[in-house]
Amino acid sequence: MTAEYKVHGDVAVVTMNNPPVNGLGYATRTAITDGLNKANADPAVKAIVITGAGKAFSGGADIKEFGSPKATAEPNLLSVILACENSAKPIVAAIHSVAMGGGLELSLGCHYRIAAPGANIALPEVKLGLIPGAGGTMRLPRVLGVEPALNMIVSGEPVKSEMLAQLPGQKLFDKMASSPEALLEEAIAFARSVADTRPLPLVRNLPSKHPMGDAYFQFARNMVKGMAKNFPAPAKCVDAVEASTKKKFDEGMAYEREIFTALMFTPESRALRHLFMAERAASKIADVPDDTKQREIKKVAVIGAGTMGGGISMNFLNAGIPVTILEMKQEAIDRGLATIRKNYEGQVKKGKLKQDKYEQRMALLKPTLSYEEIGDADLVIEAVFEEMGVKETVFKKLDEVMKKGAILASNTSTLDLDKIASFTKRPEDVVGLHFFSPANVMKLLEVVRGKKTGKDVLATVMALAKKIKKTAVVSGVTDGFIGNRMIEQYSRQAGFLLDEGATPQQVDRAIERFGFAMGPFRMGDLAGNDIGWAIRKRRAAERPDMKYSRTADKLCELGRFGQKTGAGWYDYQAGKRDAIPSKLVEDMVAEHRKSLGIEPRRISDEEIVQRLVFALVNEGARILEEGIAARASDIDMVYITGYGFPIHRGGPMLYADQVGLFNVVQAMKRFQANPRDDAKFWEPAPLLMKLASEGKTFS
């Protein structure tokens, strides 16, 4: 049963019951129409109420059925809405908590609507690269007016029921209930009061118009163009709402459907729907069931108040969790605290944070120089220098002082977590929490699962990640984890491109046009080119067979570490971040090419993009094959939330799927044949070869 049927005197109540949000899956849709048929056939019933059990009226389409034939099987949502409109007896939608997407569209097919205060009302389809597909663009303008309706449809953002009820002339709600608790009773009474009203009012019969007509829609189009560069859906929302003012209702409905169907097949919508599912999938760990008992995290300690330690602490302060931050010297503590304060003060100045909230947060932060003061923390996160020796000292000390059951986490970005865990007598309590810089801003958190990390520890940190508003993705132990291991291949390829004839600005421009927030060279200048230099030095000892372009080392030998030294791949004016192409770098690269005997060639932007992105894809395939990432979509989440990969492409793995894995392998073979490139680099990963030859995809 996904909807219950109950008769209260002369009013039948159909209650959708498909937790968690009464998604309108096949079974729910069938149960609603069964209920309507029953009510219409029962002479004792005079009116009908539709409502939702639990936490929602209805959240819309059932995500469990996304992409399956059940999603559109009859009765599909349009048919259910039609059944509502055609009911001989009045139907009242009793809305509370959440009415979104198809849920709101269903209510718009009912004759009357009564809403509880505090309900979130939205048509969020645009966030999946779509427009509402069951009459939302035709009916919402008729009840709210064109402008408020279009705002809701283009933004996809929820608006509170009581706000909508205040719009002049609105016909969305016939009545507001006095409270969520009183909703059902008041809806039944309202249904009784309209039981004999005929003809029954239908939203489709209301007019949709804007006093400024075409001029308004032109204005709306211009606004939307600036907002959504890479996405077609917002402009299509304008088209559909405009059609509500120009076409007959049923023609408008057909037009909406046409747009909806076309958008379903766009790569942009596919990318957004993929990421929507990917985010949910990433929070699941196959062998860690949802009901795994979690540890309680009431107090956090952070070791190291440097770049990362400060930002990491802020995440917990923002969530109201007290933090004790430990350093070796008073000066370091003072510096760390000053940075945190400056950061919050900046937010206060911009009006993003209230002064009292800032003070509350700072009051939760306690600095210390003594390990004795952190022993009772439930979670300690180490963010000290990236040297195994330092990590060893710290973890041995933590093993001594931390209470039993505390989680010991490391923010290491390259070191072996299993080795770090082995410094303690409780490796089951050790986990990697790899935050990204700036740690208080970046969404991504790689949760590094060591060989012995406890399942309850994983369950706890995954839940905690949600609490501090991070997107957590689990990675196995490997050098660089998911993100940095892949980016290393991308950077190597960027170097080879320079050797062959490209300039840093050409490479950056090509990949930025593809949609990356920043190209590899601008990124290097921002993060500090010395970081990669240190890694390459280590690599030279560990893997002397790994080929690199020497240009990046030469750059560092010139002291050009990036923005922090005022010069890197680009020149920078004092106090400014604008990247100015550098003659000196151009000459250095040309000199290097000459020493290799390379005659530069013009490389197309398309080749640049393919070489950079497929470098990510190939390493991603290896990571997947080794089980370092559980799913291809986890890799996409890492790249979207941590590395500025363009959202409308859905992540490197989905992008490869959309290009077609066969074509990806073909391109790699072409690159392999290029004597200037590294043939070994382009050896397709076995998993990629296998999927390509079977005509399959990563997802």
Which active-site residues does the annotation give?
Answer: 105, 125
Cα(305)–Cα(493) distance, integer angstroms:
35
Identify each DSSP E strand in 17-74 by its residue range: 47-52
Q: Compute the least distance from the CB of residue 335 to ligand NAI, in Å.
A: 7
Q: Compute the least distance from the CB of residue 531 to ligand NAI, in Å.
A: 7
Site map (CB under 6 A) of ligand NAI, residues 387-416, x = contact = ---x--xx----------------xxx---
Cα(380)–Cα(64) distance, integer angstroms:
37
The site for ligand NAI, by CB under 6 A, has a size of 25
In the bound state with ligand NAI, the residue whose beta carbon lies nearer, of 190 and 423, is 423
In the bound state with ligand NAI, the residue whose beta carbon lies nearer, of 98 and 302, is 302
In the bound state with ligand NAI, the residue whose beta carbon lies nearer, of 228 and 308, is 308
Query: Strand order of the sheet with strand 47-52?
Result: 3-8, 11-16, 47-52, 91-95, 112-115, 175-176
Cα end-to-end distance, the chain, whole Å: 32
Of the listed pieces 168-176, 301-309, 450-458, 566-574, which binds ligand NAI according to CB under 6 A? Answer: 301-309
Q: Compute the least distance from the CB of residue 312 to ligand NAI, in Å.
A: 9
Of the listed pieces 218-226, 381-389, 507-515, 633-641, which binds ligand NAI according to CB under 6 A? Answer: 381-389
Q: Compute the least distance from the CB of residue 483 to ligand NAI, in Å.
A: 10
Q: 20: cis peptide before it, omega within 30°?
A: yes
Helix axes 330-349, 307-318, angle to 10 degrees: 50
Residue whose C-alpha is closest to residue 16's, from 7, 8, 6, 39? 6
Q: Compute the least distance from the CB of residue 329 to ligand NAI, in Å.
A: 7
In the bound state with ligand NAI, the residue whose beta carbon lies nearer, of 11 and 420, is 420
DSSP letter (8 states) at residue 47: E
**3-state DSSP helix/strand/coil percent for the chain, to nearest 5?**
50, 10, 35
C-alpha distances in Å from residue 218, one per residue of 153, 231, 238, 346, 648: 16, 18, 9, 38, 25
Is residue 672 within 8 Å of residue 317, measured between CB atoms? no
In the bound state with ligand NAI, the residue whose beta carbon lies nearer, of 110 and 420, is 420
Query: Strand order of the sheet with strand 365-368?
Result: 365-368, 323-326, 300-303, 379-382, 407-410, 430-435, 444-449, 471-476
Q: Compute the least distance from the CB of residue 365 to ligand NAI, in Å.
A: 15
**Amino acid type, 96:** H
Q: Compute the least distance from the CB of residue 617 to ligand NAI, in Å.
A: 24
Contacts with 573 (C-beta within 8 Å, 6 or more apart), sequence order = 580
Query: Strand order of the sheet with strand 120-122?
Result: 98-100, 120-122, 159-160
Judged by CB under 6 A, which of 45, 114, 272, 303 binds ligand NAI? 303
β-strand partners of 433: 447
Site map (CB under 6 A) of ligand NAI, residues 332-351, x = contact = x-------------------
Q: Compute the least distance from the CB of residue 465 to ligand NAI, in Å.
A: 15
Q: What is the number of the residue whose Cβ is closest to ligand NAI?
A: 306
In the bound state with ligand NAI, the residue whose beta carbon lies nearer, of 244 and 563, is 563
DSSP letter (8 states) at residue 433: E
Of the listed pieces 75-83, 384-392, 656-664, 683-691, which binds ligand NAI according to CB under 6 A? Answer: 384-392
In the bound state with ligand NAI, the residue whose beta carbon lies nearer, of 103 and 532, is 532
Category of 118 on φ-ψ map: left (φ > 0), alpha (ψ -120 to 50) or beta: left
Q: Please, what is the Cα angle at 669 between 668 and 670, to 5 degrees?
A: 90
Residue list 59-98, contact with ligand NAI (CB under 6 A): none
Q: Compute the least distance from the CB of residue 415 to ligand NAI, in Å.
A: 7
Cα(62)–Cα(71) distance, integer angstroms:
8
Of the listed pieces 172-180, 199-207, 297-305, 488-496, which binds ligand NAI according to CB under 6 A? Answer: 297-305
Judged by CB under 6 A, which of 170, 437, 604, 693 binds ligand NAI? 437
Chain centroid, CA 250 distance in Å:
36
Q: Is 241 in the site for ligand NAI (CB under 6 A)?
A: no
In the bound state with ligand NAI, the residue whose beta carbon lies nearer, of 435 and 570, is 435
C-alpha distances in Å from residue 251, one per residue of 83, 85, 221, 242, 421: 19, 17, 22, 12, 65
In the bound state with ligand NAI, the residue whose beta carbon lies nearer, of 156 and 304, is 304
Residue list 642-681, contact with ligand NAI (CB under 6 A): none
Q: Compute the least distance from the CB of residue 542 to ligand NAI, in Å.
A: 17
Is residue 608 within 8 Å of residue 521, measured between CB atoms? no
In the bound state with ligand NAI, the residue whose beta carbon lies nearer, of 93 and 394, is 394
Q: Compute the least distance from the CB of residue 367 to ligand NAI, in Å.
A: 12
In the bound state with ligand NAI, the residue whose beta carbon lies nearer, of 306 and 515, is 306
Q: What are the phi and psi torsion angles at 49 (to 5°)?
A: -115, 135
> Residue holding tokens 């979670």?
379
Judged by CB under 6 A, which of 16, 384, 433, 608 binds ligand NAI? 384
Helix axes 605-625, 652-659, angle to 10 degrees: 110
Q: Is 477 in the site for ligand NAI (CB under 6 A)?
A: no
Of the listed pieces 129-137, 203-211, 302-310, 352-360, which binds ligand NAI according to CB under 6 A? Answer: 302-310
Site map (CB under 6 A) of ligand NAI, residues 304-333, x = contact = xxxxxx----------------xxx---x-
Of the listed pieces 27-35, 232-240, 429-437, 571-579, which binds ligand NAI according to CB under 6 A? Answer: 429-437
Q: Is 386 in the site for ligand NAI (CB under 6 A)?
A: yes
Of the listed pieces 377-385, 450-458, 462-470, 653-661, which binds ligand NAI according to CB under 6 A? Answer: 377-385
**Amino acid type, 238:** V
Footprint of ligand NAI (CB under 6 A)? 303-309, 326-328, 332, 383-386, 390, 393-394, 411-413, 434-437
